[in-house]
Chain A
Amino acid sequence: MNTIYSRQFRQIKTNFVALKKVIKIMYRQFSYMLTNCDSLGIYFEPLIQPLLPMWSATECRAKIIKIDKQSNNILTLTLKPNRRWKGFNPGQYVELTFEKNGKRTCRSYYIASTTSQFETNSTIDLIIQVQPTGQISTWLETGLREGQVLSLSQAKGDFILQNLEPPTLLIASNIGIIAVQSLLYQLVKNKSCNIVLLYLNDDSDLFIDRLQGIEQCYSGVKIELIDTARIDSFSKTTVETLCPDYQKRKIYLCGPINHIKPVQMVLKQLSVGSNNIHLEHFYYDFNTTLINKNKGGTVYFKNHEKKASSKKEDTILSLARRNGIKPKYGCCMGDCKLCTCQKESGIVYNIKTGKYSGAGQELINICITRPVGDVSVKL
């Protein structure tokens, strides 16, 4: 009896899902017919949003509860996302959209708060390091105020704990400590206390008090500070002395790319299996003098799931065409805007204006842009 019922129930459920899908498509067609928008919400958004800033047809929105300036270059944002936001795993990040002088700009920040904080009062904390050369972070202090509403993405990123049990080696550098301390909290909370944390830090004392508090409370947690000024001296012996049983441990590695590359090399020398390492690196302290527009990069074409690396003078358009993707294009001079598409992440160089883009989401003309490093485009 039971099985028959469950089978019928499953049948009904699949029918229901199919019906829901059909209704969704019909609704889309209907709203497209009425308003030329994919949903009625998008059409009414310009009218509704000034009245209800937390409401949006497609995006998650969040209210700034508190802006806290902890030190000269560290800013903590406390955000309260709306119900559309689905929560996060420790170690993930969100993309915040700022509206600076009418231009929407995206930046990614790690979530520094714990999941229990989100469960109790549904707020999250983001820690932002103010870069003296940064376009956005220097503006944040004056541009943001408490009570303002921003758009944010769902939590993103694969830098999450794979397994709670085995002993772990955490290596963090600079801002990467935010993601790593989230992992540390989660591990400690789950009473898995065989942890070594190597913290490559410069003079910023971000989290050091908090981390030392954890070290004192839990006997299995060992935290080592390494000065980044001596990053060159980071070698096999450093790892071997500080964490002799590194071969047995799961390794989590997070930080800006210029710090992570040497560490990765060392781990390679130590012949640590690559499936034991979970890695996340990001571009930090983005400096146009350091990158070379002619060096090229790799482009990930999201809708085609293809990856291609560019040669010297390749634009993204020529790269796509060589790899069998047929994007729309017209004049190839950046005038007609037929080839405009959404860049998901990465930095591109604009031939026409001679400028570098930011690292977040934005619209680019692929016929006049060259990839610089890893770029992902929705094409």
Chain B
Amino acid sequence: MKKLSEKQLSDLVADLHKIRDETLSTLGKRDAKYILDIRRLQIIFEISGRVSLMLCFIPIFWVIGVILLFISKALNNMELGHNVMHGQYDFMNHPHINSTKYEWEQLSYSDFWQYSHNFAHHTQTNLIGLDADIKFLVFRMKPDIKWKVRHLFQPLYFFVVSLLLFNPGVVLFDIKKSKKIRNIRPAVRKIRNHILKNYVLFPLLSAPLFIPVLLGNLTASILYNLWSSILIFCNHFTESTKFFTYDKNESKGEGYVRNILSSVNITGPSWFHILAGHLSFHIEHHLFPDMPSSRLKEIAPKVEAICKKYEIPYNKASLFSNYCSVIKQVFKCSFPTKNKQQPYYAQS
């Protein structure tokens, strides 16, 4: 793409802000009802999942329980946790479902997560050396990143991480990042609680079925781990996204362009979007992190039209093709390839 002129950039900002203001001014009952309904649904899924795992002397209940628990985790962490912690639903002034109070089910402590995600990732998206998500991923997902010998084993540990270690890794990273400025005790307590709850308390409650229940909880965790890692890799690290270097004088418009270029939308049916916490509308989410997830679907066509108007590539693809592209990148970048492509800001 061509670099946009000053005038075009300011027009782009104005156009995007128009969409934002129009949508934010119409927030109301519908969005409040949506998030409360999701919360209700999540509680029902969680309770029925736990109960059905306890009945797992009939094997089919084990499978149902694992699936229900997985859905509950996906709803709680992606649709509720991630979005509520972004302050998307703060307009409701709800006493419990707001960005200061809500605590999700995931291992990572919400306070630390908000720091590493809302601040370090969202304001510095795909900036090499600054974006928390790139730093955390020990992978070399773009040729822009300096090659090291350990990257040769990248395909191997990519699969280990996306199967098992994605969420625990996020926790360790969050703690490492925040331990200088925050008290880490609540975060450690949260991990302890998670282990106690899933691998001691609930298995003990269904005493003779200790091992199947424990395995069920573990399977649900692994499924969720896999699901979240797939989504997050697909959102930023496909072939079509770009990495950037930090520019001190970046204007607001350039920031928006960077966020559009560094994210990918995933297409799919609406149940998929809900399970993905509307992270599948990732370009819109990165443009307006505090826009309620219930509205992202609605503004996506408008944003796409704007991108077309300014000839900015608007990347969207299905989950499958996105993930294939990610895996291709993982293999390709494990070898010391040279960076042929110039960074965006260097283009004239």
Contacts and interface: CB of A to CB of B under 8 A. Distances in A.
Interface of A: 32-34, 36-37, 42-47, 58-59, 101-105, 328, 330-331, 333, 335-338, 340-342, 361-363, 365
Give chain A's interface secondary structure class: mixed
A44 B201 CA distance: 20
Which of A36, A42, A105, A361 has the most C-beta atoms of chain B within 10 angstroms of its own C-beta? A36
20 contacts: A32-B103, A33-B201, A34-B197, A46-B43, A102-B33, A102-B92, A103-B32, A104-B94, A328-B111, A330-B115, A330-B118, A335-B122, A335-B123, A336-B114, A336-B122, A337-B90, A337-B114, A338-B114, A363-B99, A363-B100
Contact of A337 (B32, B95, B99, B105): B99
Nearest to B41: A46
A352 to B, nearest CB: 10
Give chain B's interface secondary structure class: helix
Contact of A340 (B36, B99, B103, B104): B99
B197 A362 contact: no
B43 A47 contact: yes
**Interface bracket on B:** 35 or more
A313 to B, nearest CB: 20
A335 B99 CA distance: 13
A335 B290 contact: yes
B96 A45 contact: yes
Given A335-B122, A338-B114, A102 B30 contact: yes
The 8 closest A-B pairs by CB, nearest first: A102-B32, A330-B119, A337-B87, A101-B28, A102-B29, A336-B118, A33-B193, A104-B93
A102 B30 CA distance: 7
Given A33-B197, A46-B36, A340 B92 contact: no
Contacts of B119: 330-331, 336, 338
Given A32-B193, A330-B115, A331-B123, A337 B86 contact: yes
Given A36-B104, A102-B30, A330-B123, A337 B118 contact: yes
A37 B76 CA distance: 13
Contacts of B135: none
B115 A47 contact: no
Contacts of B27: 102-103
B31 interface: yes
Contacts of B29: 101-102
B91 interface: yes
A250 to B, nearest CB: 39
A103 B105 contact: no
Interface in B175-208: 193, 196-197, 201
Given A46-B36, A103-B91, 5 more contacts: A33-B193, A330-B115, A338-B118, A361-B93, A365-B87
B298 to A, nearest CB: 16
B98 interface: yes
B48 to A, nearest CB: 12
Which of B28, B92, B93 has the most C-beta atoms of chain A within 10 angstroms of its own C-beta? B93
Contacts of A342: 100
A62 B29 CA distance: 21
A36 B95 contact: no
A337 B87 CA distance: 6
Nearest to A333: B123
A36 B113 CA distance: 15
B95 A58 contact: yes
Contacts of A328: 111, 115
Contacts of B18: none
Which of A101, A102, A330, A340 has the most C-beta atoms of chain B within 10 angstroms of its own C-beta? A102
Contact of A103 (B28, B36, B196): B28
Interface string B102-143: 011100000100110011001100000000000000000000
A338 B196 contact: no
Given A44-B43, A103-B28, A335-B290, A59 B87 contact: no
Nearest to A106: B93
B90 A340 contact: yes
A32 B102 CA distance: 12
Contacts of A340: 87, 90, 98-100
Nearest to B89: A102
Which of A37, A46, A105 has the most C-beta atoms of chain B within 10 angstroms of its own C-beta? A46
A335 B81 CA distance: 17
A105 B32 CA distance: 14
B40 interface: yes
Nearest to A105: B93
Contacts of A46: 36, 39-40, 43
A226 B187 CA distance: 62
Nearest to B34: A102
Interface in B300-318: none
A44 B105 CA distance: 15
Contacts of B118: 330, 335-338
A42 B98 CA distance: 13
B240 to A, nearest CB: 25
